[in-house]
Chain A
Amino acid sequence: MAESYMEKIERILLSVEKPGRYVGGEPNSVVKDKSAVNIRFAFCFPDVYEIGMSHLGMKILYGLYNSVPDVWCERVFAPWPDMEAKMREHDIALYGLESGDPLREFDFVGFTLQYELSYSNVLAMLDLAGIPLLSSDRANDDPLVILGGPCVCNPEPLADLADIVSLGEGEEVSIELFDLYREHKRQGFDRRKFLRAAADIEGIYIPSLYDVEYNADGTIKKFTPRDGAPAVIRKRIIQDMSKVYYPENFVVPIIEIVHDRAVTEIFRGCIRGCRFCQAGYIYRPNREKDFHTVDMQSRSLCDTTGYDEVSLSSLSSSDYTELPELLDNMLNWTEQNKVSVSLPSLRIDGFSDELTEKLKKVRRGGLTFAPEAGTQRLRDTINKNVTEEEVLNTCRTAFNGGWTNVKLYFMLGLPTETLEDVEGIGILSQKVVDEFYRNPNKPKGKGVNVTSSASTFVPKPFTPFQWEPQDDIETIHMKQQHLRNSVKSRKITLNWHDADTSFLEAVFARGDRKLIDVLLRAFEKGCRFDGWDEYFSLQRWLEAFEECGIDPKFYANRRRQYDEILPWDHLDYGITKEFLIREHKKALASETTPHCRQKCAGCGANKLTGGVCSVFKTKYEERS
């Protein structure tokens, strides 16, 4: 970082918590000569350093952007409230960690939207950078604010803030956008002309080119493109995961972060189609990376970072076709180099004896499984495709393998849920405990601990439940109480998620453009870090809604009709509305849908081509 800037922030660093968050200088961070680059990109993660630095998408795009010689990408994280206060007191604008230069000097200021509760931080960061919060207030030379990440599958609550929204996977589309920008900059940059031209790039959505009209009841009447902008904007995907750019190194943080390890992506998309899971739909189709590539990339990352742990990342690790081959290959070098392999997101039905043996060779953590619902009927409704027998079999296998801690994830408030389903969570947890004591090979002198966590269901866009109302807060509280009463054993630890934050999440997940006023008001009222219990205040948010004359229940707790125009209907994520309606009807009838490798459900993602929709299917059929 430039010395002048360091000098400026050093005055405040010792008065804030964890100053290492704000100084940069980490190994593998990229410092370029700013006079020799054309495009400066501030990659902003609207949460604290330790969270943002753990995020794989940011590592990939940071590496990719910096691999372009005339592009310099820097990292920016949300300053913790103590730091924000000090920065405001000392008149220090938000800066890039690599250069220490204020964000105002950048060409692009990009935010990755990973969860709805970080939206207030986006506003706080722009404001701290001295950049106008609304795109209509930005001048020709102001940075272009670009949004990406999973939440932009409904970017409408932030539509008036964004200059550009990038839909889907960013690797290819960003480079095309940079090419266009470079061209426009050379010819004398005109913001409006550039944005209009950018709208013609597939995957790029320019919200200011669209008008929204509303009905008297608050629903959307009409969504109209202007200026010849495309009526429907389709997300971008990477066709071949084995060929796409992957970073050779990661920035190695100097303070401990949440996921402090090397990460290799093994596939994108998921074959399963659990009906509550947005990730299971918006990342379709499922596309795997060749196991040789995964092996090579993991090894290279460990060499360049010095990490002694590598995590294989995907939405459901045990669905990786070549998992046995991959683990065998990796164990060849990981044991010798004292590197441990972690395999998160294991499915209940994918936990074989063979896999247990392999996992035992690597460091042993707890085991986590997600039955998601307490009864078979409800598991069928959400298309989890896991039976109680499979849950118990898996736990038996795990207990046989010496595990004594099992975590189970459930959701409360799923569509069609009854109190019987809620009790089912307690009953299933108890059956897992009983399974442990039935096991003749159970570890001597050790008890079992089953931790059952119940989060609150949030209906999300592009899922079959996108029309469903969320249970109101009172109902959730009642169900939480009912769950507590249904658990008797002290071997079961029960956790549940705060219903208030899930309510706000539900509002913004399916929100429309009217919500920007609420966001602005909430930001002014001091809302920050809403994902953090110590800062979240539902009361403050409710005041903001009240003052803007907007009813949050309209977004969270209202049932939509199939023919209602939804705020994200102009975005094309591959899957069709007809498919989602079909799935919704099957859900209500508790009918399941086979996964992509068993039978194509006709979701529509095959028009994007690639992965399970083309090459992979034949490969899978050969195997079975």
Chain B
Amino acid sequence: MSLKPSMKNVVDIQGTLCLPIRIYFEKKGPSKYMSHLDLMRCMTRTIRRAGVPIWYTEGFNPHPFMTFALPLPLGTAGMCESMDVRLTTDMSFDEIKTRLNNSLCEGIVVTEVNYVGKKATEIHSAIYSIRLSATEAGGEILSKNIERYLSQNEITVQKKNKKKQLVDIDIKPHIMDFSVKSEGEFAILNIRLPAGNDLNINPAIVLKGFENANNIAFERCDIVREKMLTKSGEKFL
């Protein structure tokens, strides 16, 4: 069924009626080893396979219009990922979700399809849960050490600047919240860090800082981005 101008949120884009929608998904398992570029390719093909009609850019080399809220680093899983596309034909959100889930690769699961909500620029921070283990220490010792490390008044780590050079920064002021507990051989760290276009701190640099300071190497380091929040602490939707 074609879209009508009277329908909710329908807009006219260069002469085509479109409904901007947001697709929420999880990216975990083997899919977390897909880079952001790989993910864009994967989603383009998934949408084509699934037969979900979306708007293509005009011009000499048309490509599907698709924007992602915030790229995920390679190897990090995400439970709150989202991308926006523009629907060109009326199709129910449930139908889109079912079709996509039938075509997706292992580890990517569409959890919800909805109207576009907040702008991606409103993302201000993210909450990560991180499962860590090290051969040198059990879960309990490891979690205590992490707790101590993150409770210091100043925590100097290395971060790549825009010129891709490594520079020392103090990340203590940027750690908005954290908690650590032990679970068998693992230490589980929950941490809230700045995320978004202005300042984005990858938890991996915090963990690297810990490894360097304590002279150990994690055996397992499974990072999951659990939530993205706006400045006022609301969930990004």
Contact = CB atoms under 8 A, between A and B. Distances in A.
Interface of A: 1, 6, 10-11, 13-14, 19-20, 22-27, 252, 254-256, 260, 302-308, 338, 363
A25 B103 contact: no
Contacts of B38: 20, 254-256
B45 A252 contact: yes
Given A10-B222, A11-B219, A308-B48, A19 B104 contact: no
21 contacts: A13-B33, A20-B30, A23-B29, A23-B33, A25-B29, A25-B30, A25-B31, A27-B45, A27-B104, A27-B105, A252-B42, A254-B31, A254-B33, A254-B105, A255-B34, A303-B49, A305-B45, A306-B44, A307-B45, A338-B56, A338-B62
A23 B37 contact: no
Nearest to B47: A306
Nearest to A339: B48
Contacts of A23: 29-30, 33
Contacts of A11: 219-220
Nearest to B220: A11
Contacts of B33: 13, 19-20, 22-23, 254-255
A138 to B, nearest CB: 32
Given A13-B33, A256-B38, 11 more contacts: A10-B220, A20-B34, A25-B29, A27-B46, A252-B45, A254-B33, A254-B42, A255-B38, A305-B49, A306-B47, A306-B103
Nearest to B107: A25
Nearest to A12: B219
Nearest to A260: B41
Nearest to A23: B30
A13 B75 contact: yes
B202 interface: no
B61 interface: yes
B205 to A, nearest CB: 14
Interface of B: 29-31, 33-35, 37-38, 41-42, 44-49, 56, 61-62, 74-75, 103-107, 219-222
B106 A25 contact: yes
Q: Which of A27, A254, A260 has the most CB of B within 10 A?
A: A254
Majority DSSP secondary structure for residues of A touching B: loop
Nearest to A13: B33
B102 to A, nearest CB: 10
Q: Which of A10, A11, A256, A303 has the most CB of B within 10 A?
A: A10
Contacts of B56: 338
A95 to B, nearest CB: 13
A26 B38 CA distance: 12
Given A13-B33, A20-B33, A254-B42, A27 B49 contact: yes
Contacts of A6: 29-30
Contact of A25 (B48, B61, B74, B105): B105
A254 B42 CA distance: 6
Contacts of A363: 61
B103 A27 contact: yes
B34 A254 contact: yes
Contacts of A20: 30, 33-35, 38
Contacts of A1: 30
Contacts of A14: 75, 221
- Of all A-B residue pairs in the complex, the 4 with the closest CB atoms, nearest first, are A306-B45, A25-B106, A23-B30, A25-B30
Contacts of A256: 37-38, 41
A200 B135 CA distance: 56
Contact of A254 (B30, B103, B222): B30
A304 B222 contact: no
A306 B34 contact: no
A59 to B, nearest CB: 16
Q: Which of A6, A11, A22, A306 has the most CB of B within 10 A?
A: A306
Q: Which of B30, B45, B46 has the most CB of A within 10 A?
A: B30
A338 B65 CA distance: 14
A25 B106 CA distance: 5
A25 B105 CA distance: 6
Nearest to A15: B217
Contacts of A308: 44, 48
B86 to A, nearest CB: 15
A260 B47 CA distance: 17
Nearest to B217: A15
B208 to A, nearest CB: 12
A13 B33 CA distance: 9
Nearest to A303: B49
Contacts of A338: 56, 62
Contacts of A254: 30-31, 33-34, 38, 42, 105
Contacts of A307: 45, 48
A91 to B, nearest CB: 14
A27 B219 CA distance: 30
Contacts of B219: 11
Given A10-B220, A11-B219, A254-B38, A24 B30 contact: yes
Contacts of A305: 45, 49
Nearest to B37: A256
A256 B221 CA distance: 25
A306 B103 CA distance: 10
Contacts of B220: 10-11
B83 to A, nearest CB: 16
B51 to A, nearest CB: 8
Q: Which of B33, B37, B47, B105 has the most CB of A within 10 A?
A: B33
Contacts of A25: 29-31, 105-107
Given A20-B38, A338-B56, A26 B105 contact: yes
B144 to A, nearest CB: 23
A89 to B, nearest CB: 12
Given A254-B105, A256-B41, A306 B30 contact: no
A498 B62 CA distance: 39
Q: Which of B45, B49, B74 has the most CB of A within 10 A?
A: B49
B49 A306 contact: yes
A259 to B, nearest CB: 14
Contacts of B48: 302, 306-308
